[in-house]
Structure 1
């Protein structure tokens, strides 16, 4: 008996010693934020899994609760994906980042015009693509998911390169790269100081989010008459460490791998990704090889300070097959231009960029976000009649101070900031025939500089009515030094010079009416501008400098509404805009001669009227029980009525001048329709289907040549699931262009016609393609 008593006493003492460690509760505090802008997600819920205990984040996104070591905390918010985080013995303070879902996007916080706020409360049209939207595709092609946004169209010159983004008709003013909009990657400007945007060194597979502000944004972003595109890369989940390997293979020799290491503590995260991609190509001489390395880091030093770092490196080599005419695209779409093949036309790019963003919340009402960056590119580009070699170095920064006071009856929000960009471009051009290097044609040192200051303010002038207004003062200047003239024949014209465009003040004003908690209306008036690029100012082939070129100016008026019904399962967005653009820049192509390669001259040709309607609707049905967990049909529609108004072939007003007034604007399809459905089944299976229709469009100024309409149907079937506590698996198969439609994603516009009256304008895209892939992730 004494032995039993002694054993019981020892056991009780041991339990007493260990119970405090096992059952002691931890007092946790934390903050729930949007990962791309560090803004608090007010009202987010925190639930201890398997219990009824939890709490709700306050207006600052902050929360506190007691939990045990080993508990699983579930974080959720309307418009965002649910995240589960385990509680460790060392956990005391957490910063939780929630990624947006692709349902009820009106509740997601975006960059906006003055200060970050939800889409529904942004007085303007905003398109948002989330990681779930990107996962509906193989992730390689920006056009497969960004084109779902009404009013936006991504075009590709080749199967893997030559991306340009067209927003409300802007972005296709030149046949290479994009103009008329600004693009950013993790807040780092991708657009050069001369207004051109080069996207071929971006690894689209690492993106987790794309935001598009549609319409003039020069009042806050500078040279951006078409709008702004904000790209964001994946972040590592806070509090988790994982390593993943993804492999993708498909038609035309497609092979892609992604190797990722993601690690996160309670308040820091690091994502390192290496990607390798290879295509044999759909067309003769259309292959591609790319290597990407990216590093993304987020650190939350305190509740007031956070910092993000991005470093990226790209080495890519894309062969160019050249343009073919309207007969060849029907009969031999895989063919290429012999001149491109003989010169081994291609774009070889080596690129690096690094940037750091710092957020500081001085007080509850006053904050600052500052981004600085540096980058460089080396581009070697042989083409049909020559070769261009370009070295670029660029740097700059952006800083915005914001003030908001929700306690005041007027709820004022004020932002003041500035942005600075500068490029040093060293560009040489040589003759090239059958792969044999010829004489030096151009040797230019170009310095382009763009800077702006801006201010925006918003006041709630009535309980449901908010007035916002702002303006930006924008500067663009170019310095050009011709290094060739001193060593060439006297007939050569020196193109050295300096051009400083007249500063442009671009205002914006808007009214937003919050009719109910779920429905809002807005109206806005704004101005924007797009300065000519240096390649438009200088025509190196002929020794001409277009010093008389003026920036395009646009004045836009827009009305719209956003909202949701049926307990936020049905959401919509509708916008109508009208914009007059004056001093429209138009390039005119001239065929090569025995002494001069093909070239184009840009002129300010007149005015263009843009009228458009954009509509997006989606419904998310989530059954509480049963095999199916989600059915999400969606549709988006764009109507464009764009036509020339007081528009001429040049500004010479002589016998050769042609008046195109009343003609439809080239390169713009009047109707675009996108529709699709997502189905998810609780065991882990999923099905994604998309249909995209593009109407026929004129491709030259007289409107006597049209690119035919086409329809694309894409689909993806997969299975994703957790294999125990440490492994996640995603396997899938898919197909693009399942109807084998004949089409050219990117069409060269306004080219001079050869003798057969068939312009070499088309860059054919592949017929039906297939792919399959798998991703295996190990979570430590």
Structure 2
């Protein structure tokens, strides 16, 4: 009798325990997406930590799972970093964003040509930088990680400003800012309506990802003969709230702080970051001070609807030391141009932008993404011979409708959309000598506008063969008012000039063949264009509109392959391209007179041939046991055979015209080699090292002056780990230019030679530098 009573009590207790467990379990539904494009990550796995229970995301990125409060869900996917999410009592529906890892990158979803898809299935060359790539540096200098992409070179005028991006030889046609490519930040256009891209108001330390579409992107993005660069800022991990403080110090007075608040709920991500940066610089009159504030939020209202918001503000002040010649860069690289110092040459910028992106999934097959933005800049820039003051106000938007049907044998994907971008620029120029303001030289009001309509379609015409084709119809317009005319004549002249370029139709077609699951081949032909910028359309010194200009245009032929082997541990990408550029814009200089300062008039007088080979290989070795958790060597190589096919100093065809046909294109190094290794241990220690080699290159049209080759070696050693359940710590030391190489990150091209035959073309970069820093994060 007693034993029956005991068994009864045990049975009741067991049933009670089981019912408690069953009661505590809760049904969870979720969706796993890429944070930058909201695309589902198909096949992602969801496991309950410490158990064998889990599930896999379907073709919509959705999953269903039962879990208990307090369980840790581990979400992983090939090409993405593993994320851990704690189940709370309120957890019912989750939207989980996964950031790309630094391995298996061919599986990462990128923007592509209007339709997001994995890198491997994008029929074109794509470079990708992830947060792990950025973390191998101090994060301040874009060139230290973007230059690892073959075919891409970031150049800097000063130690902390003047960034320009050169993609396959495009972007260095001007000594200030960038041209020939389009840039976006969280889908907000950074490129102005006149085609120039100003990057000095971007906080690179907050980036989590950089995508580069190499080659003409005009069929989907407009003014982009060189390519397209997409920047994305950090997001707060879903389901986690944290506050962090980062402090960095280094050579030449470098001091940087980042204070971040990240709030992640089940379906909302909010990241607020304030950054302060100060740099004394290694050159006389080369200091810099910057303050950044950025707010990024993602909200998933439902499985069909999401919204992203970005707010950014920048206040920066960068001194300009000016250019020096080939002797000074070797003997006194820290020296400055005395005229720049006398005029207190600098760039003072105050900038703000706001953007809103909305995704809506009408059906399983039909969706829309629309982005609207507004922004403004105030720039005060004294330089060697004057001062330019400008106010910019810009706004615009981009909208793309996409249809896809994987159930159909042809697996059609169709996208149709448009983009609109307009600037109101108010610019004045004054004389300046020894920091004493002179007479008004120019007073222009410019309305620059770009707009385009585009359509792309892809069909799987055979089991492994996909054909894609599309085109963009692109417009560029300028409205110009010279306010000096209004002050010297009785009547106010509303429009002094108007220039509307002939609409450009930019088609693109590509074939992609899936050799096997992990290897693909592609071939493409595409047309691109680059419209003249404001200072080429308008000769501010004379108040004349250059009506005869035409955009540069080029037809690009490209073949390539992407793939992975050894269970996706070894990945590669190779591409060969050939592009002939016509109507190349050539500046023709005119000397100053008693009434007009020196100026240049741009003409279409050139043809350039671009032939290039790009290769990238990486291997990720992940031992199952032992102290080391990752060894990742990588290498990339770029060969550029760029030359003037039919290029003259002007189109006058007279005795003064100089023919440069057959010469190598200035500013392009024929060989670029990058290599490196990442090493991580299970204890938390890590080591990153990179090597960048830049070949000797011509810097003027006749190829009579060359910039010497140089090699940069950078390294970083650190320790990152969790401290208990709430703290994360990352401490590190690093060094750039370990070999103390002498080099100029940015060279002014095609300058006239002074009396000593040594053009002032070089902007020296520092010898060996050191830095150290720490980041402490508290997770609530």
TM-score normalized by structure 1? 0.97
State the alpha-carbon separation in 1 of the partners of residues 595 and 336 from structure 2. 24
Q: Which sits farther off after the overlay, 158-167 or 750-759? A: 750-759
Partner SS, residue 515 of structure 1: strand
**1:11 Cα deviation after fit:** 14
Q: Does 1:453 align with 2:453?
A: yes
State the alpha-carbon separation in 2 of the partners of residues 533 and 659 from structure 1. 25
In structure 2, relative to structure 1, the CA distance for the partners of 1:287 and 1:495 (3 Å cut) is farther
Partner SS, residue 205 of structure 2: helix
Q: Does 1:560 align with 2:565?
A: no
Partner SS, residue 120 of structure 2: helix
Cα displacement string for residues 91-145 of structure 1 (whole angstroms, at most 9, x for unaligned residues)? 0010010000010100000001131000000000000000000000000000000
Matched residue, 2:316: 316
Conservation of the 8 A alpha-carbon contact between 2:448 and 2:479: yes
Conservation of the 8 A alpha-carbon contact between 2:482 and 2:543: no
Cα displacement string for residues 600-655 of structure 1 (whole angstroms, at most 9, x for unaligned residues)? 33221210000000000000000000000000000000000000011111011111
**1:574 Cα deviation after fit:** 0.1
State the alpha-carbon separation in 1 of the partners of residues 191 and 548 from structure 2. 23
In structure 2, relative to structure 1, the CA distance for the partners of 1:598 and 1:254 (3 Å cut) is farther
Q: Which sits farther off after the overlay, 341-350 or 586-595? A: 586-595
Q: Which sits farther off after the overlay, 350-359 or 535-544? A: 535-544
**1:586 Cα deviation after fit:** 2.6
Matched residue, 2:479: 479
Structure 1 regions of 5+ residues with no counterpart?
Answer: none
Conservation of the 8 A alpha-carbon contact between 1:114 and 1:457: no
Q: Does 1:175 align with 2:170?
A: no
**1:24 Cα deviation after fit:** 2.0
Matched residue, 1:742: 742
State the alpha-carbon separation in 1 of the partners of residues 18 and 506 from structure 2. 68
Matched residue, 2:72: 72
**1:544 Cα deviation after fit:** 3.6
Q: Does 1:652 align with 2:670?
A: no
For 1:576-587, list aligned pairs within 5 A: 576-587=576-587
Conservation of the 8 A alpha-carbon contact between 1:482 and 1:496: yes
State the alpha-carbon separation in 2 of the partners of residues 229 and 214 from structure 1. 9
**1:13 Cα deviation after fit:** 9.1
For 1:295-444, list aligned pairs within 5 A: 295-444=295-444
**1:541 Cα deviation after fit:** 2.2
Conservation of the 8 A alpha-carbon contact between 1:120 and 1:563: yes
Structure 2 regions of 5+ residues with no counterpart?
Answer: none
Matched residue, 1:537: 537
**1:22 Cα deviation after fit:** 8.4
Partner SS, residue 364 of structure 2: coil
In structure 2, relative to structure 1, the CA distance for the partners of 1:463 and 1:9 (3 Å cut) is closer
For 1:600-749, list aligned pairs within 5 A: 600-749=600-749
Cα displacement string for residues 168-221 of structure 1 (whole angstroms, at most 9, x for unaligned residues)? 000011110000000000000000011000000000000000000000010000
Matched residue, 2:113: 113
**1:14 Cα deviation after fit:** 13
State the alpha-carbon separation in 2 of the partners of residues 340 and 589 from structure 1. 21
**1:417 Cα deviation after fit:** 0.2
**1:16 Cα deviation after fit:** 4.6
Q: Does 1:575 align with 2:563?
A: no
State the alpha-carbon separation in 2 of the partners of residues 440 and 24 from structure 1. 76
State the alpha-carbon separation in 2 of the partners of residues 537 and 494 from structure 1. 18
In structure 2, relative to structure 1, the CA distance for the partners of 1:47 and 1:502 (3 Å cut) is same
State the alpha-carbon separation in 2 of the partners of residues 679 and 24 from structure 1. 42
**1:547 Cα deviation after fit:** 1.5
Cα displacement string for residues 408-440 of structure 1 (whole angstroms, at most 9, x for unaligned residues)? 000000000000000000000111111111111
State the alpha-carbon separation in 1 of the partners of residues 17 and 675 from structure 2. 63
Matched residue, 1:164: 164
In structure 2, relative to structure 1, the CA distance for the partners of 1:650 and 1:489 (3 Å cut) is farther
State the alpha-carbon separation in 2 of the partners of residues 263 and 588 from structure 1. 55
In structure 2, relative to structure 1, the CA distance for the partners of 1:248 and 1:598 (3 Å cut) is farther
Matched residue, 1:24: 24
**1:670 Cα deviation after fit:** 0.3
Cα displacement string for residues 510-532 of structure 1 (whole angstroms, at most 9, x for unaligned residues)? 00000000000000000000000
Matched residue, 1:62: 62
Conservation of the 8 A alpha-carbon contact between 1:23 and 1:68: no
**1:496 Cα deviation after fit:** 2.3
State the alpha-carbon separation in 2 of the partners of residues 528 and 559 from structure 1. 17
Cα displacement string for residues 379-416 of structure 1 (whole angstroms, at most 9, x for unaligned residues)? 00000111000000000000000000000000000000
State the alpha-carbon separation in 2 of the partners of residues 101 and 46 from structure 1. 17
For 1:43-192, list aligned pairs within 5 A: 43-192=43-192
For 1:245-264, list aligned pairs within 5 A: 245-264=245-264
Conservation of the 8 A alpha-carbon contact between 2:195 and 2:532: yes
**1:546 Cα deviation after fit:** 1.8
Cα displacement string for residues 150-183 of structure 1 (whole angstroms, at most 9, x for unaligned residues)? 0000000000000000000000111100000000
State the alpha-carbon separation in 2 of the partners of residues 677 and 590 from structure 1. 50
State the alpha-carbon separation in 2 of the partners of residues 684 and 644 from structure 1. 52
State the alpha-carbon separation in 1 of the partners of residues 290 and 150 from structure 2. 30
Conservation of the 8 A alpha-carbon contact between 1:495 and 1:545: no
TM-score normalized by structure 2? 0.97
Conservation of the 8 A alpha-carbon contact between 2:114 and 2:400: no
Conservation of the 8 A alpha-carbon contact between 2:479 and 2:495: no
Query: What is the RMSD computed on CA atoms of the aligned residues?
Result: 2.0
Matched residue, 1:212: 212
Partner SS, residue 614 of structure 1: strand
Partner SS, residue 576 of structure 1: strand
Partner SS, residue 587 of structure 1: strand
State the alpha-carbon separation in 2 of the partners of residues 14 and 82 from structure 1. 36
Partner SS, residue 516 of structure 2: coil
For 1:213-232, list aligned pairs within 5 A: 213-232=213-232
Q: Which sits farther off after the overlay, 506-515 or 430-439? A: 430-439
Conservation of the 8 A alpha-carbon contact between 2:720 and 2:731: yes
State the alpha-carbon separation in 2 of the partners of residues 488 and 682 from structure 1. 74
State the alpha-carbon separation in 1 of the partners of residues 22 and 253 from structure 2. 56
**1:21 Cα deviation after fit:** 7.1
Cα displacement string for residues 268-327 of structure 1 (whole angstroms, at most 9, x for unaligned residues)? 010000000000011000000000000000000000000000000000000000011111
Partner SS, residue 219 of structure 2: helix
Cα displacement string for residues 738-780 of structure 1 (whole angstroms, at most 9, x for unaligned residues)? 1011100100011111111111110001110000000000000
**1:726 Cα deviation after fit:** 0.2
Conservation of the 8 A alpha-carbon contact between 1:431 and 1:441: yes
Conservation of the 8 A alpha-carbon contact between 1:424 and 1:446: yes
In structure 2, relative to structure 1, the CA distance for the partners of 1:593 and 1:258 (3 Å cut) is farther
Conservation of the 8 A alpha-carbon contact between 2:588 and 2:650: no
Conservation of the 8 A alpha-carbon contact between 2:260 and 2:273: yes
State the alpha-carbon separation in 2 of the partners of residues 447 and 296 from structure 1. 30
Q: Which sits farther off after the overlay, 143-152 or 592-601? A: 592-601
Conservation of the 8 A alpha-carbon contact between 1:588 and 1:751: no
Cα displacement string for residues 551-572 of structure 1 (whole angstroms, at most 9, x for unaligned residues)? 0000000000000000000000
Conservation of the 8 A alpha-carbon contact between 2:246 and 2:257: yes
Matched residue, 2:35: 35
State the alpha-carbon separation in 2 of the partners of residues 592 and 671 from structure 1. 39
Matched residues, number: 775
State the alpha-carbon separation in 2 of the partners of residues 515 and 15 from structure 1. 56
State the alpha-carbon separation in 1 of the partners of residues 250 and 486 from structure 2. 53
